[in-house]
Amino acid sequence: MPLEKNISNNIKGKKKKISKNKIFIILMVVGCMMGSFSHTAFSSIFELIMKQFSLSAGEAQLMTSIYSMTIGITTILSVFLTKNINRKVLFLGAMFVFGSGVLFTAISFNYVLILTGRVFQAIGSGIILTLSQVVLLSSFSKQKTGLVMGIYGFMLNLSSALAPVITIMLVKKISWQTIMWWILIMSVFVIFLTWFKCHRRKKTHYENYDEKENINLYSCEKSKMSANCTLENCSGKQDLKENKFFKQTNLTGNFCRYFNSLRLFLYQKIIGLFKNFDIISFLFSSISVIFLMLACMSIRDISVKDINYWQKNLTADEFVKISEYAILKVVLYSCISIVFILIFISRQKKMKNPYIRLELFKNKRFMAVVVTSIFIYGIMMGTALWFPVYINRMTGAGMERAGYIMLPGAVIMAVSSVLGGWLYQKYGIRLLYAISICSFILAFITRNVVPIWVMYSFRSIGIGAIMMPMTAWGMKEIKKEYYSDGTAIICSLRTIAGALGTAIASILV
């Protein structure tokens, strides 16, 4: 009987472990959805914030720019964090940082607090975004990752699609700070659930001793009073376990033990952790990303300045000088970025343990995914800016009505992400590439024939069907220990592509 109980307890323990991992994955996806929801919701209330704090267009643009820059830098930092920190601890820390950013935004009474909140939100969201993809890719078999990533994309796209509609409806009745308070409450709820449901508590010395005693007692019963283990010995050990003197320790001993544990934790987990941190490589890569994004934003500034300066009735010579200065900034930022990228690449080639495994670019499949991701994400972000303006010019609809017109396409993109994952598992990636290309062609050909929401839906199918399954396909030939490198490379380049797509769209607008 004891043996059967022991086996059943082990089975229950295994079930408990599986359920904890599932709960952790669900909570992590919820954290990603919250980051996506807060970013999209915040973007839809820019006009209210500008009026409340009397902000200029440049100051409002900085809130978006600094968020994108921080996301780009954080994804690079996530390579080191995901390799060296426990995933559940890292998720808890990222959620705490994200929640702090939401809190700063909710209590903001000036522009500086809003910017601080945006930075903290971007840090938390960037870490969770990279971590979630690494965990999903490594937790499931390679045959299932396509469908898993499709479901993951469905959840993120759905939160992004519903965020503007929900925010616009709520802002009519409550303040935008109240929405941030609701997001903060959800963040705290996720943190508590992760801590109590997924955190593995370390056993104390006495619990370990009790387990050893139970094993000894069980072995005594199993051996049926063997010569080496008699019932007297077992009862003696039981008495020892129940000895009050053994269980009790004085206050000084407890204090010394906790102090030593804290000292060892600080040294091993924090100081020891950053001894392995290649800060030079991180700085080179971060500077290159920052200047490349500044170049993209300067491209966007050219079109904005064009409108402003023509409205001021400047002469042709003055306008040319200002345009030349803006173009010069783009060239200068791009050159600085290229220099730091080259330095970073040469440093990684010389190192035995590089900060980011750039040899992943030698894999043709991964390279194809990177190029496609840049192209798709640039289209997604660029058209997200271009479509509301296009709808306004064609129909005279305001931003609220434009959001409702674009809602079906956003929901279709979420659904097509799941269908894309299922089709990838059944028929492979080539079919998804064909669907994506045909959808983009249909959106372009039928732009003057079908309603605007239909054209936007074609565009959404082309993006949703390929985005997440393509990531799973690209990671299929990569070792699990390199998932964090591959994910960080893709996420960083996507962020830059999004900034470039937005810049090009602003010029076309």
Q: How far apart are CA 202 and CA 179, in angstroms?
A: 38
Task: Identify the pLDDT of residue 448.
Answer: 81
Residue 110 per-residue DSSP state: S
CA angle, corner 303, sides to 297 and 307, nearest 5? 135
CA angle, corner 325, sides to 323 and 327, nearest 5? 70
Q: Mind listing the pLDDT tens digit for each residue in 322-332?
A: 667 778 888 89
pLDDT band at 321 (very low <50, low <70, confident <90, very high): low
Q: Residue 387: is its pLDDT beyond 50? A: yes
Lowest mean pLDDT among 21-25, 258-262, 480-484: 258-262
Task: Identify the pLDDT of residue 16.
Answer: 46
Using an 8 Å Cβ cutoff, are 493 and 499 in contact? no
Question: According to the per-residue pLDDT averaged within each range, which of 63-77, 329-343, 488-502 is highest?
Answer: 329-343
Lowest mean pLDDT among 65-69, 214-218, 405-409: 214-218
Q: Residue 202: is its pLDDT beyond 60? A: no
Residue 470 forms part of a structural domain: yes
**Average pLDDT taken over every residue of the chain:** 76
Range of the domain at 393: 12-198+355-508
Domain count, the chain: 1
303 or 193, which is more confident?
193
Backbone angles phi, psi at 313, to 5 degrees: 60, 50
168 or 340, which is more confident?
340
What percent of the chain lies above the pLDDT cut of 90?
A: 9
Q: What is the token pair recorded at 104?
A: 């700063």
Q: Residue 488: is its pLDDT beyond 70? A: yes
Q: How far apart are CA 272 and CA 282, in angstroms?
A: 18
Burial of 253 by CB count in 10 Å (0-12 exposed, 13-18 middle, 19+ buried)?
Answer: exposed
| Unique residue bearing structure tokens 């300067």 | 298
Q: What is the token pair recorded at 206?
A: 């006495």
pLDDT band at 120 (very low <50, low <70, confident <90, very high): very high
Residue 211 forms part of a structural domain: no
In the chain, helix, strand, coil percent, each to 5?
85, 0, 15
Lowest mean pLDDT among 147-161, 241-255, 401-415, 471-485: 241-255
Question: DSSP states of 115-130 as a string?
Answer: HHHHHHHHHHHHHHHH
Q: What is the token pair recorded at 436?
A: 């994506």
Residue 428 forms part of a structural domain: yes
Q: Mind listing the pLDDT tens digit for each residue in 123-158?
A: 999 899 888 888 888 888 777 888 888 888 888 888
Q: Mind listing the pLDDT tens digit for each residue in 32-88?
A: 889 888 888 887 777 788 888 887 766 777 787 788 888 888 888 888 888 888 888
- CATH number for the domain harbouring residue 431: 1.20.1250.20
Residue 290 forms part of a structural domain: no
Segment 396-406 mean pLDDT: 73
Q: How far apart are CA 460 and CA 479, in angstroms?
A: 32
Residue 293 forms part of a structural domain: no
pLDDT band at 235 (very low <50, low <70, confident <90, very high): very low
60 or 347, which is more confident?
347
Q: Mind listing the pLDDT tens digit for each residue in 281-293?
A: 889 988 988 888 8
Segment 462-473 mean pLDDT: 86
Closest-CA residue to 204 (of 121, 141, 243, 261) = 261
Q: Mind listing the pLDDT tens digit for each residue in 364-380?
A: 888 888 888 888 888 88
Lowest mean pLDDT among 97-101, 259-263, 433-437: 259-263
273: left (phi over 0), alpha (psi -120 to 50) or beta: alpha
Q: What is the token pair recorded at 178?
A: 């109240």
Residue 22 forms part of a structural domain: yes
78 or 20, which is more confident?
78
Q: Residue 313: is its pLDDT beyond 70? A: no
Question: According to the per-residue pLDDT averaged within each range, which of 93-107, 271-285, 306-320 is highest?
Answer: 93-107
What percent of the chain lies above the pLDDT cut of 70?
A: 74
Using an 8 Å Cβ cutoff, are 408 and 453 in contact? yes
Q: Residue 413: is its pLDDT beyond 70? A: yes
Task: Identify the pLDDT of residue 181.
Answer: 92
Residue 55 forms part of a structural domain: yes
Closest-CA residue to 342 (of 331, 334, 330, 353) = 334
Task: Identify the pLDDT of residue 148.
Answer: 85
Q: How far apart are CA 66 and CA 87, in angstroms?
A: 26
pTM: 0.77
Residue 185 forms part of a structural domain: yes
